[in-house]
Amino acid sequence: MDGAIINMKPFNLENKYLQTIFESIQDGIIIMNHEREILLMNPAAKQMTGWLLHDSVPYCSFCERRTLAEGENKCYLIAREEVPYFLSDMPTYHGKKINVEMSTALMYEDDESNQKEYLLVLRDQTVKRKKEEARVSKLMIQRLIEAKETEHKRLAQELHDGVGQSLYTISVALQAIESYVKDERLQSYIDEVRNELDHVMNDIKAYSYQLRPQSLDRLGLIAAVQGLIITIEKSNPSLTIDFLSNIENRLPAAVEINLYRVIQEAMHNISKYAEAKHVAIQLMEYRYKIELLVMDDGQGFETKRIDERGLGLQHMEERLDQLEGSFVIESTLGKGTKIVASIPKGEGFL
């Protein structure tokens, strides 16, 4: 409105489009006279403040504290007539105060009676503050996840190239020593040491893979998931896992690692809790999204007691939230569990 005075009849809402905007807009819209009596207000203003028609708009914290010039109206908005915006705390009907961004404009002036009507716009800063807090919280979680993945990658590399190679060198040296051993009892002892060494080497390999499978960085998500399935089926002979995917190209790195962690966590929960015989994993690419489906025929659980399943499900949801995705889990006692995750395809996708 640029603060312009509108010389017309007192404000009315005969236009149906203005009426719709007036009733639907989230900002509080109030028309008040020079005595601060409310002549008109939209639903958002009523919900925000609790004020009623013909109530007097209370003075904000700024007006209550400010120093007045001689003859100046206590209301800063009326004293200035057109104010682009300023921030202050405004009392509400229940005695509390809300932080609002306020702006005003002189809408109507009667030269004969000197009656004036003002437009007052209120924007609740609580919503804005909450959005900013949510944005900062999400950014912090993203940074923590990135730092965690970086550390996992470093540790996995160290286990594979450092500890793993050292153990392999010991194994070769032990094999060389064996060629000189003639004592059967000593040979038996060396065999036990070799078996234990092989066991440790397999453990190191498994830990390295759990931290960060090299196939994920080298070959992509599909190869990493296939490797994960082979590992799980070896350690759980009674469990059959079917994997279906139509993804042919590499996905953005953040999408690949977060989807892999979701699948990894889901399979961990199934192996630990579900007592399932069969699992179906579908990872499909569509025009506008990537969709993940994990279903098992296990014992299921009560979703209202989901917090009792630990932080795993929460971590899955956090990872998908970083990708602007959605996460839904459905489960029925005795009928298994289904996880559905969806990620919109944004920048970085081919």
Q: Give residue limits of the domains in the chain.
A: 16-127, 220-350
The yes-or-no verdict on residue 40 having pLDDT over 60 is yes
Q: What are phi and psi of 153, to 5 degrees?
A: -65, -40
> How much of the chain exceeds pLDDT 90, in percent?
23
Better-scored residue on pLDDT, 122 or 80 = 122
Fold of 220-350: Heat Shock Protein 90 (3.30.565)
Lowest mean pLDDT among 117-126, 158-167, 318-327: 158-167
15 token code pair: 């236009």
- Range list of β-strands (E), the chain: 28-33, 38-41, 83-91, 97-109, 116-124, 240-245, 278-285, 289-296, 326-332, 336-344
Helix (H, G, I), strand (E, B) or coil at 46: helix
Please give the pLDDT value at position 135: 77
Q: What is the mean pLDDT of residues 190-217?
A: 80
Least confident residue range of 1-15, 105-119, 322-336? 1-15
**Whole-Å CA distances, 73 to 70, 81, 91, 311:** 9, 11, 19, 58
Considering only residues 278 and 67, tell me which one the structure prediction assigns the higher pLDDT.
278
Both tokens of residue 155? 């540790």
- Our CA dihedral for 126, 132, 133, 137, rounded to 10 degrees, sits at 160
| The predicted structure's pLDDT at residue 81 | 62
Is the pLDDT at 256 greater than 50, yes or no?
yes
Let me know: does 336 contact 274? Beta carbons within 8 Å: yes
Cβ atoms of residues 104 and 119 within 8 Å: yes
Highest mean pLDDT among 19-33, 90-104, 141-155: 19-33
Is residue 311 predicted with pLDDT exceeding 70? Answer: no
pLDDT of res. 262? 93
Q: Show the DSSP H helices in 56-106 as ranges.
A: 61-65, 76-80
- pLDDT of 45 higher than 50: yes
pLDDT in tens, 58-76: 888 778 788 887 877 888 7
pLDDT at residue number 12: 53
Higher pLDDT, residue 100 or 7: 100
In this structure, which long-range contacts are made by residues 177-184, counting pairs with CB atoms below 8 Å and at least 24 apart in sequence? none
pTM recorded for the entire structure: 0.56
For the domain 16-127, what is the CATH code? 3.30.450.20
Report, as an integer, the average pLDDT of 320-344.
91
Is the pLDDT reported for residue 8 higher than 70? Answer: no
| Rounded Cα distance, 224 and 212, in Å | 9
Alpha carbon distance 90, 74 (integer Å) = 15
pLDDT at position 212, please?
78
